[in-house]
Amino acid sequence: MLDDLDSSLKRFFIYGLPDLQNQSETSVSLSFVTPLEGEIQQKPAINLFLYDVRENLELRRGDWTMERQANGTAIKIQPPARINCSYLITVWVNGDDPQEEHHLLSQILKLLLHHPVLPPELLIGSLRDQDYPVLLKALQPGYLQGPGEFWQALGGRPKLSLHCMATIAIPIEKETGEWPLVLENQPRLSRLS
Length of the chain: 193
Domain of residue 16, CATH code: 3.30.2000
Asked whether the beta carbons of 135 and 166 are under 8 A apart, the reply is yes
pTM over 0.75: yes
- Cβ neighbour number for residue 114 with a 10 Å cutoff: 10
Residues 6+ apart with CB under 8 A from 39: 31, 33
- Give the integer Cα–Cα distance in Å for 95 and 103: 15
What percentage of the chain reaches a pLDDT higher than 90?
36
**Residue 92: enclosing H or E segment and its boundaries?**
strand 81-92
pLDDT in tens, 57-79: 887 766 766 677 777 777 777 78
Q: Is residue 27 part of a domain?
A: yes
Domain count, the chain: 1
Residue 142 covered by a domain: yes
Q: Which structural domain, as residue segments, surrounds residue 131?
A: 2-60+73-172
Q: Looking at per-residue confidence, does 163 or 186 come out higher? A: 163
